[in-house]
Chain A
Amino acid sequence: NAGVMQNPRHLVRRRGQEARLRCSPMKGHSHVYWYRQLPEEGLKFMVYLQKENIIDESGMPKERFSAEFPKEGPSILRIQQVVRGDSAAYFCASSQATETNYGYTFGSGTRLTVV
C-alpha cells in the first residue's frame, strides 16, 4: 500500500515560469492538505481539499497560487510566474477522515528552487 506520493522530488524553475507540483494521496484517503516549509519558519498550512472541492484555502497566497483535486488523478498545486521567494519545500499530506483524532500521512515533499 503505497504512501503519499509526491512528484517531482526536486524542481528548478526560472523566475516567471510556472511550477506544477503533484500529490497522490494514500489509497482510501479522500482529504488532501498542502503545506509549505521555509527555512526557520516551520510548516505553514496552505490549502485543504477534498475531491473536486476546496475546503479551506486560508493559507494560500492571494495571487499566483492555485490548487485542485480532480475527480480522477492527483492533486495539483500550481504556482504561476514563480519568484525567488517561492523557493521552499512543499509537502502534501492526506487523511482518511477529518475528525479531530486523525493524523495525517505526509509525502516526501517537492523542493522547489527558483533561479
Chain B
Amino acid sequence: GNSVTQMEGPVTLSEEAFLTINCTYTATGYPSLFWYVQYPGEGLQLLLKATKADDKGSNKGFEATYRKETTSFHLEKGSVQVSDSAVYFCALKGQAGTALIFGKGTTLSVSS
C-alpha cells in the first residue's frame, strides 16, 4: 500500500540556517504530494503541493520538488525564522476516492 516516510526530529536550528526535511514515499500510480504545517495547539495548514513529477511546490520561502526517480519530496528553506517553529508533515494522495496519508511529522525548533 501507499506510505510516507519522513526524517525523525526534532530538528533544531539557529535563525537564518538552511533547512531540509527529508520525505520519501511508496505509491502505485501517480500520487500528489503535499507538505502541511501544524503550529502548537492548532490544526494542519497546507504549506505547498506538487501534483506531478518534476513539479516544484513553493510557499513562504519553503519549496519541495516532486522527484519520481528517487520517490522523494524533500522540504527546503534557505533561511529559517523563529516563527517557522512547528511540526511539518509530508503527505501523499493516491487515486481518487482515497484519503491523504501522512508521515509521522518532524518537529522543527528555531532559536534566535
Which residues of chain A have a CB within 8 Å of any CB of chain B? 4, 6, 33, 35, 40-45, 48, 55-56, 91, 93, 98-109
Indicate which residue in B41, B94, B102 contacts A100 across the interface (CB closer than 8 Å).
B94
The interface bits of chain B over 85-108 (1 if a CB of A lies within 8 angstroms of the residue's CB, else 0) are 000010001111111111111000
Given the interface contacts A103-B34, A103-B46, A108-B42, does A42 sit within 8 Å of B89 by beta carbon? yes
Pair B43/A43 contact, Cβ less than 8 Å: no
Chain B positions 8-46 with a Cβ under 8 Å from a chain A Cβ: 30-32, 34, 36, 41-46
Output the least CB separation between B15 and chain A (Å): 27
Q: Which residues of B contact A102 (CB under 8 A)?
A: 93
Chain B count of residues within 8 A CB distance of the other chain: 27
Pair B43/A108 contact, Cβ less than 8 Å: yes
The prevalent SS among residues of B at the interface is: loop
Output the least CB separation between B101 and chain A (Å): 7
Which residues of chain B have a CB within 8 Å of any CB of chain A? 30-32, 34, 36, 41-46, 49, 51, 89, 93-105
Q: Which residues of A contact B36 (CB under 8 A)?
A: 106
Given the interface contacts A98-B97, A100-B32, does A41 sit within 8 Å of B43 by beta carbon? no
Pair B104/A101 contact, Cβ less than 8 Å: no
Pair A48/B99 contact, Cβ less than 8 Å: yes
Output the least CB separation between B102 and chain A (Å): 4
Pair B105/A100 contact, Cβ less than 8 Å: no
Given the interface contacts A45-B101, A101-B32, does A91 sit within 8 Å of B49 by beta carbon? no
| Cα distance, A100 to B55, chains bound together (Å) | 15
Pair B89/A101 contact, Cβ less than 8 Å: no
